Amino acid sequence: MAEQRVEGTLTSWDDARGFGFLSPASGRGRVFVHITAFGRGTPRPRTGEAYSYVVDGHGDRRPQAVRVARAGAAWSPPRARSPRPSRRGRAAVAAAVVASGALVAVALTTGGHWPGAGSPDALWARWWAVGLLVALNIGTAIAYAVDKRAARRGTRRVPERTLLVCGLAGGWPGAVLAQQLLRHKTGKPAFRRAFALTVAAHLAIVALSGVVVAALVG
């Protein structure tokens, strides 16, 4: 039996969060649509464009559009994404691990020549800083996992600004691991560029702080 396809228009679309709503030509029965429902080769969705789709109302999810294609075009399944990181992704993970070790070393050695740097209180403060850095990275990875789950379920997403701020604050190694292991946010060029800028900004801040401390100690 041929599937029943509906002709409709994309009446709202949040490109940053990757979802919107399709309204049928009849004007009733608006359904949720996620970016993953669009077929292979479909350009980035835009409000006002016409599509054909199938309404999936089964399970515990709200009715949503699946197998979405441009009006007049045949739907083809999106290209399957590898569950494993690509070669570039593995290199990014390795770089993140090395950078994490370097950041921990910086946290433990910064100010080592200050008077009283070897006191128990100073050592405790350094390990406290390391603990905060580790917690931030774990929290950042969890935020990505929560956002990935929300994307699959069509529920409220974690704002991209929050993910970027976590990376800027020092959680970017955890973000890189989550991006590659979960295969999340790796297909959005705009987000990747913004994320790269936050990583560069964080490393610049760390380097500048090191130069300032060295100058004061010297």
CATH 2.40.50.140 segments of the chain = 6-70
Q: How far apart are CA 137 and CA 206, in angstroms?
A: 16
Q: What angle do CA 12, 14, 20 make, to 5 degrees?
A: 45
Q: Which CATH number fits domain 6-70: 2.60.40.420, 3.40.50.150, 2.60.40.10, 2.40.50.140?
A: 2.40.50.140
Burial of 49 (C-beta count, 10 Å sphere; 0-12/13-18/19+):
middle
- Take residue 114 and report the two structure tokens written for it: 């200050």
List, for residues 3-61, the tens digit of each pLDDT value.
Answer: 788 899 999 998 877 889 999 988 788 899 988 888 888 888 999 999 999 888 765 55
Predicted TM-score (pTM) of this structure: 0.60
